[in-house]
Amino acid sequence: MVVDDSVVIRGMISRWIGAEPDMEVVASLRTGLDAVNQLERINPDVAVLDIEMPELDGISALPQLLAKKRDLVVIMASTLTRRNAEISLKALSLGAADYIPKPESTREATAAETFRHDLIQKIRHLGAKARRSAVHTSASPPLAPGHDRPRAAASGTAPVQLVRRPFGLLPPKVLLIGSSTGGPQALMTLVAEIGPVIDRFPVLITQHMPPTFTTILAEHLARTSKRQAHEAIDGETIKAGQIYLAPGGRHMRVVRHGIDAAIALDDGPPVNFCKPAVDPMFTSAIDIWQGSIMSLILTGMGSDGTRGGKDIVAAGGSVIAQDEATSVVWGMPGAAANAGICAAVLPLNQIAPKLVRVFSGDRS
């Protein structure tokens, strides 16, 4: 279901989706009110929901849509303004699955093609997971009161192979985090619980996110962690007690500056279709911290972080991946887990306690 007050945008998105063999546009609507009123009749798996619309805007329509269809996958779409970035991140806390920035002009071919690629991938992966979850739930017998269903991977894959050397030979000196789809919510949960780590060590984060959105995310991370968090600045010295977030549209690397480690922002081409990308941050950090790196790969599409994670493990560092059950999309962490490079694959609520223990000296 495509919901946007622009007839041009509705038509463009509908054509793109209609050209995919595994997708179908079941409705193209002008307002959030139309979407709410027609949802039960249309019964879509996924809704692409614009933020700014007459009668009922996207952020107001979102909770009403989810109240009528709890498992609806909602992808918020908006132009790239600070206000819309704020609203998009708020929408995630209200139950939206993801967001996507619309190009300023549909006439710009590169921007439109990037928008098309990202949108189709988000619809495909998020919609497929929702369908798998629905099938799994409907196929599972009811449980007796007081019994919990055993947690299993949604795809039914076999347990992953962990590295034999759990958490390196050297104590970690830095925490590197990579994340994508579902990452903002996961990062908020994580930074609220790793204060003892942040206080003593630098934390560098690459979240797949466009400009303006990363500005807002850094502010949210600062409020949630009650620590210093900001978009990284080219040339600044990396210090303990700080969270550095790769700014949208720039790769964040680590370089040596005298005896210190420093931030280097890179305006090179996308890596793994992403800019910023996780691999450049992971790989560049090895020259500075060698085997004293703890890296974490959270929820997200694709495989960004796996190549850099292999390099970190080869240098003596460690990788933790978020597990499938708690990931919005188990692409990035799943790729790392299946590559056999992880010291642990953990549910989100177990990652912070593990990090606190490892950084305090317990590397078992």
Residues 180, 225, 292, 327: which is the catalytic one? 180
Note if 180 is an active site residue. Answer: yes
Contact 46, 126 (CB under 8 A): yes
Would you state the structure tokens that stand for residue 204, as one six-digit string?
Answer: 């560098």
Burial state string for 21-59 with b = 16 or more CB within 10 A and e = fewer than 16: eebebbbbbbbbbbbbebbeeeebbbbbbbbbbeebbbb
If we measure between CA atoms, which residue out of 258, 320, 310, 314 comes closest to residue 279?
310
Note if 304 is an active site residue. Answer: yes
Q: What is the DSSP string of 154-166?
A: TT-PPPPPPPSST
Residues 57, 78, 208, 220: which is the catalytic one? 208
The three-state secondary structure class of 71 is coil
Residues 4, 279, 304, 323: which is the catalytic one? 304
Q: How far is Cα 258 from Cα 255, in angstroms, rounded to an integer?
A: 10
Q: How far is Cα 284 from Cα 82, in angstroms, rounded to an integer?
A: 31
Number of Cβ within 10 Å of residue 93's Cβ equals 11
Question: Considering Cα of 273, then 12, then 131, then 146, what sign does the dihedral take?
Answer: positive
Give catalytic residues, as residue numbers.
180, 208, 304
